[in-house]
Amino acid sequence: MATTSSKKPVKKKPVHRQDDVPVRKKPVHHEDDVPVRKKKKAPASAKHKSKKKRGKILLFILEIFILLIMMVVLYGVLKFEKVGKVNLPKEDIVINPEVEEKVETTMKGYRNIALFGVDSTTGALTKNTRSDTIMIASVNLDTGECKLVSVYRDTYLNLSNDSYNKCNAAYAKGGPMQAINMLNMNMDMNITDFVTVGFAGLADTIDALGGVMIDVDSAELQHLDNYQKTMAKELKRDYTPVTSTGYQLLDGLQATAYCRIRYTAGDDFKRAERQREVLLAIFEKAKSASPSTLNAAVNAIFDENKIYTSLDISEILELVGEITQYEVVGQGGFPEESMRTTGTIGEKGSCVVPLSLADNVQWLHEFLFEDEEYSPSDAVLEYSDKVKADTSGYIK
């Protein structure tokens, strides 16, 4: 009996139970038969069904996961289509010939992007509005170090069409293309990309990040809420008055109003400094933000009425994803403080005048690219002479 019982699990399968009787020659209810049959039949069938069920569940989860990924990608594409995206024809961007050579030497490894802030609450970001904020962001791609330079909006320069006026008129007349060419031609730059934001885009980005820390002084306090009231009315949103001075958390509308203040000591030079202060505060807040907060900030400006840019969605997402790797190590203004003056230049009005455009360009390249031996291009020398000829009769 022991021998017969030991053969059963090896020689017989549950599906052939009808063959058990001739071999064992025992009644079907024998006490040795029952446990053997139960051990071999039920567990094998249950294990097979359980394994099959788990396989179906895993397959279902995988399908759902893939579907979610596709939905996220589709959402990103659809969302980006709302952004004011423009492709700037490379052949229309002016870069002075000597700069093309510098791209392979002292300017190699740097990426330069133009940042424009326009005086608009109605989504007029493409042109027909002057750029109150003009900045150059220069990024060392090898080190992640960034430098910011404000180009003062009233600087008397070639508008890229051989007419001379306040440089912020370039954006109003020809949009970002003309504004980029203005920067490249007058400053020996090689900018090919830009980002433009209006009041709503800046305010919403700051709100999505949870506000920024800014030090408000007494002279600024009296003007801050006046700008808030104006923007709140145009944007059809409420505002919260700022009632005290000191280092404090400002929401989006408050910080945007702070950027606009110009009627204090320092005039427009101080305003440009405030703009850089807010941009740096946004940058630092973003570096410590969670992925969900960063996503909310990106979502806040993904609208054609809030942002206008030449950057692709992949580039924007890459910049956001690598934000912790960047560090702002320097900032300044153009023309440089010791090489500028102001004056009313006839019908052009009050302008910022570079005492020597060529000297300022030399300073700019030393500041951005650490090129102490830089020599301005022939084009810059020509524009420098023209600026001096146009303005010398109006300034002391």
What is the tens place of the pLDDT at every residue in 301-331? 776 677 889 988 778 777 777 888 899 999 9
Answer yes or no: are the C-beta atoms of 117 and 259 closer than 8 Å: yes
Q: Give the 3-state secondary structure of residue 333.
A: strand
Supply the pLDDT for residue 375.
96
* Percentage of residues in the chain having pLDDT higher than 70: 76
150 φ/ψ angles, rounded to the nearest 5 degrees: -85, 130
Q: What percent of the chain has pLDDT over 90?
A: 59
pLDDT of amino acid 57: 67
Q: What is the mean pLDDT of residues 140-169?
A: 96
What's the pLDDT tens digit per position in 74-101?
444 445 455 567 889 999 999 999 998 8
Phi/psi for 332 (5° steps) reads -170, -175
User: Which among 183, 260, 191 has a CA at the least distance from the CA of 223?
Assistant: 260
Q: What is the mean pLDDT of residues 370-374?
A: 95
Cα(37)–Cα(32) distance, integer angstroms:
9
Residue 176 confidence (pLDDT) above 50: yes
For residue 116, is pLDDT > 80? Answer: yes
Domain boundaries, the chain: 2-76, 90-391
Q: Tell me the pLDDT of the chain averaged across its residues.
A: 83
Q: Which two tokens stand for residue 189?
A: 């730059």
Q: Is the pLDDT of residue 15 over 70?
A: no
Q: Domain 90-391: give its CATH code.
A: 3.40.630.190
Rounded mean pLDDT, 118-147: 82
In this prediction, residue 246 carries a pLDDT of 97
Region 2-11 average pLDDT: 42
pLDDT one-digit tens code per residue, 36-65:
444 444 455 655 566 666 666 666 666 666
Q: Across residues 134-159, what is the average pLDDT?
A: 96
Asked if residue 11 has pLDDT above 90, the reply is no
Identify the H or E element spanning 111.
strand 110-118
Burial (Cβ within 10 Å: 0-12, 13-18, ≥19) of residue 384: buried
Structure tokens at 33: 């038969």
252 three-state secondary structure: helix
- The whole-number pLDDT of residue 251 equals 97
Q: What is the pLDDT of residue 333?
A: 98
Q: What is the mean pLDDT of residues 365-381?
A: 97
pLDDT at 222: 87
The whole-angstrom separation of Cα 270 and Cα 251 is 21
Average pLDDT value for residue range 123-135 = 74
In single-letter form, the type of residue at position 196 comes to T
Distance, CA of 267 to CA of 348 (rounded, Å): 18
